[in-house]
């Protein structure tokens, strides 16, 4: 039997080591490309049965059309989010699969790590001490205990975040399009309307997917509703926040701090070593100047356990697609299992 050929895009050495190790059990013919999958690079997928892509690949209408025309049958996302894939173009032509939950712990733990780091200035203390500067001026933080945490999106990651917070003596309030009342009881939190989360929370942590409806949900109007000194954490997707509004809120001190593992224009920067280049993106460059902003490069997922699960589930998805099995991880705009079902006329990319 001929081996199934998979073109991996946007790969780094760590992707290759985890996937090569895992592929010992699958024997797929894998080719790794460093370049992103975009309308420009899509020609590289010619001759492959499937492509495997990541968070910053640009799988828009044109990319999908080209993939379809060259006979690629499957887009296997090696991540949970799929906002960068045109499901409309894929509908009924190319199946799209993803890895829905490789480690909610990795991301939830990371969100808390960012809060603790930024609140207590650990990132700055590390640098100061290395220069023999033992002053603690400017490092004043606050106790988490007694503060109100607002969680937006109580799916897998949001709930692990709520679970972790149980030990901190905080009050948790949450918003989700589809409230999970059983979990709310279990983790002692209350669902409130979004505006109330904005009004009441000292710390707001985003754990919802990016959808066409919630692009720039954190904008000038939302920030205006928030408490002065609010702490905003985004480990979800950059476009949930209007960066210009965030910068304005930081400049006028309405926002106390921002921890960002994602950024709306991250695709040209994140995951790359650009230490010999100037940053062209003025908003990113400005963000990085604030002492009360912590930017990291979309690394919340990056644990050994998550990488192992990503490789395993991605290769399982590919095996299942080319075999007789059902595809539990196919992305269907109506039934992707996330309980985030858009209106009924949204196209579905699930294999029939």
Catalytic residue positions, numbered? 237, 266, 298
Q: Which stretch binds ligand NAI (CB under 6 A): 153-161, 181-189, 270-278, 280-288?
A: 153-161
Q: Is 107 near ligand NAI (CB under 6 A)?
A: yes
Over the window 313 to 352, marking each residue x when it contacts ligand NAI by CB under 6 A and - when it does not, the resulting string is -------------------------xxx------------
Q: How far is the CB of 254 from ligand NAI (least distance, A)?
A: 22
Q: Does residue 15 come out as left (phi exceeding 0), alpha (psi in the -120 to 50 range) or beta?
A: alpha
Q: How far is the CB of 210 from ligand NAI (least distance, A)?
A: 6
Q: Whose Cβ is closer to ligand NAI: residue 5's or residue 299's? A: 299
Q: Is 101 near ligand NAI (CB under 6 A)?
A: yes
Site for ligand NAI in 298-317 (CB under 6 A): 298, 300-301
Q: What is d(CA 188, CA 59) in angstroms, rounded to the nearest whole number? A: 40
Q: How far is the CB of 104 from ligand NAI (least distance, A)?
A: 6
How long, in residues, is the chain? 352
What residue number has its CB nearest to ligand NAI?
155
Q: Whose Cβ is closer to ligand NAI: residue 150's or residue 209's? A: 209
Q: Is 104 near ligand NAI (CB under 6 A)?
A: yes
* One residue of 117, 211, 219, 346 binding ligand NAI per CB under 6 A: 211
**Cβ atoms within 10 A of the Cβ of 279, count?**
14
- Cβ atoms of 6 and 49 within 8 Å: the answer is yes
**β-strands 50-53, 5-8 pairing:** parallel
* One residue of 150, 155, 249, 256 binding ligand NAI per CB under 6 A: 155
Q: Whose Cβ is closer to ligand NAI: residue 73's or residue 216's? A: 216
Q: Is 238 near ligand NAI (CB under 6 A)?
A: no
Q: What is d(CA 279, CA 303) in angstroms, rounded to the nearest whole number? A: 28
3-state secondary structure of 316: helix
Q: Is 12 near ligand NAI (CB under 6 A)?
A: no
Q: Is 179 near ligand NAI (CB under 6 A)?
A: no
Angle between helices 13-23 and 304-322 in degrees, nearest 10: 50
Quick one: CA torsion of 295, 301, 307, 309, rounded to 10 degrees? -170
3-state secondary structure of 22: helix
Q: Which stretch binds ligand NAI (CB under 6 A): 114-122, 146-154, 164-172, 326-334?
A: 146-154
DSSP annotation string for 232-273? EEE-S-GGGB-HHHHHHHHHTTSEEEEEES--TTGGGTTTS-
Q: Which stretch binds ligand NAI (CB under 6 A): 185-193, 229-237, 266-274, 325-333?
A: 229-237
The one-character DSSP state at 336 is: S
Q: Is 237 near ligand NAI (CB under 6 A)?
A: yes
Q: Whose Cβ is closer to ligand NAI: residue 261's or residue 264's? A: 261
* One residue of 202, 242, 261, 316 binding ligand NAI per CB under 6 A: 261
* One residue of 85, 208, 245, 315 binding ligand NAI per CB under 6 A: 208
Q: Residue holding tokens 């492959």? A: 48
Q: Considering only CA atoms, which of 74, 95, 84 is closest in space to residue 238?
A: 84
Q: What is d(CA 113, CA 300) in angstroms, rounded to the nearest whole number? A: 10
- Cβ atoms of 90 and 290 within 8 Å: the answer is no
Q: Considering only CA atoms, which of 233, 242, 238 is closest in space to residue 158?
A: 233
Q: Is 262 near ligand NAI (CB under 6 A)?
A: yes
Binding site for ligand NAI (CB under 6 A): 80-81, 101, 104, 107, 152-158, 175-178, 207-211, 213-214, 235-237, 261-262, 298, 300-301, 338-340
């Amino acid at each position: 039997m001929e081996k199934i050929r998979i073109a991996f895009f946007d790969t780094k050495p760590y992707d290759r080591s985890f996937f090569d190790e895992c592929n010992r059990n699958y024997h797929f013919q894998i080719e790794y490309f460093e370049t992103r999958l975009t309308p420009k690079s899509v020609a590289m997928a010619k001759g492959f049965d499937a492509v495997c892509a990541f968070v910053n690949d640009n799988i828009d209408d044109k990319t999908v059309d080209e993939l379809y025309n060259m006979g690629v049958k499957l887009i296997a996302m090696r991540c949970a989010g799929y906002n960068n894939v045109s499901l409309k173009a894929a509908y009924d032509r190319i199946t799209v699969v993803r890895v829905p939950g490789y480690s909610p712990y990795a991301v939830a733990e990371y969100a808390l790590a960012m809060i603790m780091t930024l609140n207590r200035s650990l990132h700055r203390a590390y640098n100061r001490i290395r220069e023999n500067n033992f002053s603690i001026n400017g490092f004043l933080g606050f106790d988490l205990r007694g503060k109100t945490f607002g969680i937006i999106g109580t799916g897998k990651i949001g709930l692990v975040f709520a679970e972790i917070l149980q030990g901190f003596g905080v009050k948790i309030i949450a918003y989700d399009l589809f409230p999970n009342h059983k979990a709310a009881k279990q983790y002692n939190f209350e669902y409130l309307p979004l505006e109330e989360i904005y009004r009441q929370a000292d710390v707001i942590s985003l754990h919802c997917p990016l959808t066409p409806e919630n692009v720039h949900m954190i904008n000038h109007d939302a920030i205006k509703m928030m408490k002065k000194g609010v702490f905003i954490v985004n480990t979800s997707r950059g476009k949930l926040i209007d960066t210009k509004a965030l910068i304005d809120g930081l400049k006028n001190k309405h926002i106390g701090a921002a921890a960002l593992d994602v950024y709306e224009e991250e695709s040209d920067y994140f995951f790359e070593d650009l230490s010999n280049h100037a940053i062209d993106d003025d908003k990113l460059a400005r963000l990085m100047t604030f002492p009360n902003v912590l930017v990291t490069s979309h690394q919340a997922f990056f644990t050994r356990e998550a990488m192992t699960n990503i490789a395993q589930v991605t290769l399982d998805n590919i095996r299942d697609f080319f075999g007789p099995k059902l595809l539990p991880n196919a992305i269907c705009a109506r039934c992707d299992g996330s309980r985030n079902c858009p209106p009924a006329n949204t196209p579905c990319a699930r294999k029939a």
